[in-house]
Structure 1
Amino acid sequence: MRADRLVAALLFLQTRGRVTVAEVAAELEVSERTARRDLEALATAGIPVYSQRGRGGGWSLVGGARTDLTGLTAGEIRALFLVTGPSSATTPELRVALRKLVRALPATLRSGAEAASRAGVADGTDWSGSPDASASPYLDALRRAVLEQTQVRLGYTRPGRPPSERTVHPLGLAAKAGAWYLVAGTADGLRPFRLDRVTAVAPTGEPVVRPDGFDLSTAWRALAGRMEDRMLAATVRGRVEVSAEAVLEGLFGSRLRLGRTLADGWVEIEVDGPSAEVLAAQLAGLGARVEILEPPAARARLAALAAELAALYGPTRVLPGGVRESLRSETIP
């Protein structure tokens, strides 16, 4: 839009003091003819801009006039660049905008902003070297759909379910615990879609229908609350060796509650999770250092896991013909 270019041209003049038409054209990524018309438009609008011909000439603000279009304090500018400067999720458009903002800032604020942009680093892989699952290739496409208020045909997959497609109304994006989510309207109401499970995004050209009074922050809190309720739907109770407390705290965090210390030195525990079976599988790695007492479904899952592991890893002997036979007891203690 021309208004955006005029503002950018004014900030560029403010930063550089004197510029040529060619420099303005390169900065705004337009032709020199368009850049000249924009500079003339600023002068016509009453901005104190003038041109000087000849060697060393160019366009300047009369008397070094300045305008502060950012309205940002030094602390706000540092916070902005600290958050967005090193982010691997930062789009090319945002990186260009940040560079232009640095050039538009007064000299007293510019050094702080540049330092903040270098104060962090974003590594797009996990410790195994695999790409970050939250860095979805569809993030930019969904951002555009939200901003342009366009419905999309969304491909989506969930563990244990076949892939699906549906038309959704993109209303906003939210980030939580390192993962991005799309908040969208569907035939069944508002839904969150985790971006690392999105398999395709195709704009339909149809406008988004926003619910009356929709507020993204309020909607996200409600959706996140429902997801958290599902993640804490079950509780297992048991006891654990004192030496395993730190492991459990690292694994479950606030979902772990420690109880009283028993006569044998073990500690009572309660752990919340999405299901008793999932919790049993997570606790199985501690072996004999943890004992689940209830519910029965968790104990049954542990018994089944024990049988599977004993069958796979128990002692064996080699029979004639190379056949391996398990020597384990048929009864799992």
Structure 2
Amino acid sequence: MRADRLVAALLFLQSRARQRVTAAELAAELGVSERTARRDLEALAASGIPVYSQAGQGGGWSLVGGARTDLTGLTAPEIRELFLLTGPDAGANPQTRTALRKLVRALPAPLRAGAEAAARAGTVDGADWTGAETEEALLAALQRAVVDEREVRIGYARPGGEPRERTVQPLGIVAKSGVRYLLADTADGLRTFRVGRVASVAETGAAAVRPEGFDLATAWRALAARMEDRMVAATVRGRAAPGTGAVLEGLLGGRIRYGERTPGGWTAFEADGPSPEVVAARLAGLGARVELLEPPAARAALARIGAELTALYGAPGTPAAPPCAPARAATPPG
């Protein structure tokens, strides 16, 4: 549209403060013919914007007297936060990069330097070192469905399972700790779907039904609270050998609490999880470096896992590995 092009032309002139812009330069910037660029400059001048031309060598078009039009209305702190948020991703997304370039040109010179510095403050590496296929294309399809309010049929796989199709009303995308989730309305009510487990996205052709008064942040907080309650439904108690703390925290995160150091340098701990069996399975790889004391269900789960591994990998007559010997120094598990 010509109105958009005229705004872009004005921003380009503003970005070249105290410099003349030729019609050829503007044409290259806007992707139009030189004749169209010249007409746009003439239209700006006719509309009352102080755009003037100078003929001859070194001539061109410029905004007289440093005239500016701030099209953003943003404050300096708002601009900084916006570019801190979007700047790192701009290099990977051509549309975002173009939008940010236009925004920078719309800013007064004192604010522009801060915006550019914020955009350079970080970077995002989208490469997946696990070798898994990127989810960006599926994420883009889900985002379009949310914005356009279109019902979609997604193929969704639970851990260890095959994808199953579900028809959902997409309501928003939430990022939590680097993991993205689709929040959608379903026949069973509001549900969350981890984007990395979405195998396919296809629009059904129907419009999505957005609940009246729906607020994404409020709905997410309610669902997240329920999920977090389920994640800490059970508590397991045990003791850990010295030097085990970093591994425990990597497995359980903030759901572990340390107690007193026991004789031999071992440290008592409590850990929360969805169930005793789930916590036991998480800790099974630590072998004799961790001993679970209660509840009995956690000990039974570890015994069962051990028996299954012995049956699968153990050879007749193979001596059992000795238990982990405690360190001489009484140090915490970390």
TM-score when normalising by structure 1: 0.81
How far off its partner does 1:299 sit?
Answer: 1.4
- For 2:37 and 2:209, the matched residues in 1 are separated by 38
- For 1:183 and 1:271, the matched residues in 2 are separated by 29
User: What amino acid is aligned across from residue 105 of structure 1 in structure 2?
Assistant: L
Query: Are the structure 2 counterparts of residues 68 and 179 from structure 1 closer, same or farther at C-alpha, using a change threshold of 3 Å?
Result: same
User: What amino acid is aligned across from residue 317 of structure 2 in structure 1?
Assistant: L
- For 1:71 and 1:88, the matched residues in 2 are separated by 22
How far off its partner does 1:313 sit?
Answer: 4.3
Aligned to 1:112: 114
Query: Are the structure 2 counterparts of residues 233 and 171 from structure 1 closer, same or farther at C-alpha, using a change threshold of 3 Å?
Result: same
Structure 1 counterpart SS, 2:88:
coil
Structure 2 counterpart SS, 1:138:
helix
Q: Is the 8 A contact 2:68 2:108 kept in 1?
A: no
Aligned to 2:284: 284
- For 1:91 and 1:215, the matched residues in 2 are separated by 27
5+ long unaligned stretches in structure 2: 324-334
Q: Is the 8 A contact 1:89 1:135 kept in 2?
A: no
Aligned to 2:89: 87
Aligned to 1:225: 225
Query: Are the structure 2 counterparts of residues 153 and 313 from structure 1 closer, same or farther at C-alpha, using a change threshold of 3 Å?
Result: closer
Q: Number of aligned pairs?
A: 319
Aligned counterparts, 1:1-333, within 5 A: 2-17=2-17, 18-30=20-32, 35=37, 38-52=40-54, 55-87=57-89, 90-125=92-127, 129-131=129-131, 135-262=135-262, 265-314=265-314, 316=315, 326-328=316-318
Query: Are the structure 2 counterparts of residues 179 and 33 from structure 1 closer, same or farther at C-alpha, using a change threshold of 3 Å?
Result: farther
Determine what percentage of the aligned residue pairs are the same residue. 68
- For 1:148 and 1:229, the matched residues in 2 are separated by 33
Q: Is the 8 A contact 1:158 1:197 kept in 2?
A: yes
User: What amino acid is aligned across from residue 327 of structure 1 in structure 2?
Assistant: G
**Which of structures 1 and 2 has the larger relative contact order (alpha carbons within 8 angstroms, sep 6+)?**
2
- For 1:25 and 1:151, the matched residues in 2 are separated by 41
Query: Are the structure 2 counterparts of residues 218 and 116 from structure 1 closer, same or farther at C-alpha, using a change threshold of 3 Å?
Result: same
Structure 2 counterpart SS, 1:6:
helix
Query: Are the structure 2 counterparts of residues 106 and 2 from structure 1 closer, same or farther at C-alpha, using a change threshold of 3 Å?
Result: same
- For 2:132 and 2:87, the matched residues in 1 are separated by 18
Query: Are the structure 2 counterparts of residues 221 and 120 from structure 1 closer, same or farther at C-alpha, using a change threshold of 3 Å?
Result: same
User: What amino acid is aligned across from residue 63 of structure 2 in structure 1?
Assistant: L
Query: Are the structure 2 counterparts of residues 88 and 289 from structure 1 closer, same or farther at C-alpha, using a change threshold of 3 Å?
Result: farther
Query: What do residues 198-251 of structure 1 show as CA deviations (whole Å, max 9, x unaligned)?
Result: 111223343332111111111111122222223223221222234323432343
Query: Are the structure 2 counterparts of residues 244 and 121 from structure 1 closer, same or farther at C-alpha, using a change threshold of 3 Å?
Result: same
- For 1:89 and 1:294, the matched residues in 2 are separated by 52
Query: Are the structure 2 counterparts of residues 327 and 88 from structure 1 closer, same or farther at C-alpha, using a change threshold of 3 Å?
Result: farther
Q: Is the 8 A contact 1:88 1:122 kept in 2?
A: no
- For 2:257 and 2:231, the matched residues in 1 are separated by 16
Structure 2 counterpart SS, 1:201:
strand
- For 1:72 and 1:149, the matched residues in 2 are separated by 29
Structure 2 counterpart SS, 1:210:
coil
Structure 1 counterpart SS, 2:71:
coil
Query: What do residues 29-69 of structure 1 show as CA deviations (whole Å, max 9, x unaligned)?
Result: 44556545554554454433345555544443343311112
How far off its partner does 1:133 sit?
Answer: 7.6
5+ long unaligned stretches in structure 1: 317-325
Structure 1 counterpart SS, 2:89:
coil
Q: Is the 8 A contact 1:260 1:267 kept in 2?
A: yes
- For 1:189 and 1:45, the matched residues in 2 are separated by 54
Query: What do residues 233-273 of structure 1 show as CA deviations (whole Å, max 9, x unaligned)?
Result: 32212222343234323432320022233456433321112
User: What amino acid is aligned across from residue 295 of structure 1 in structure 2?
Assistant: P
Query: What do residues 118-157 of structure 1 show as CA deviations (whole Å, max 9, x unaligned)?
Result: 332322346xx32578853212222222222222222221
- For 2:26 and 2:204, the matched residues in 1 are separated by 37
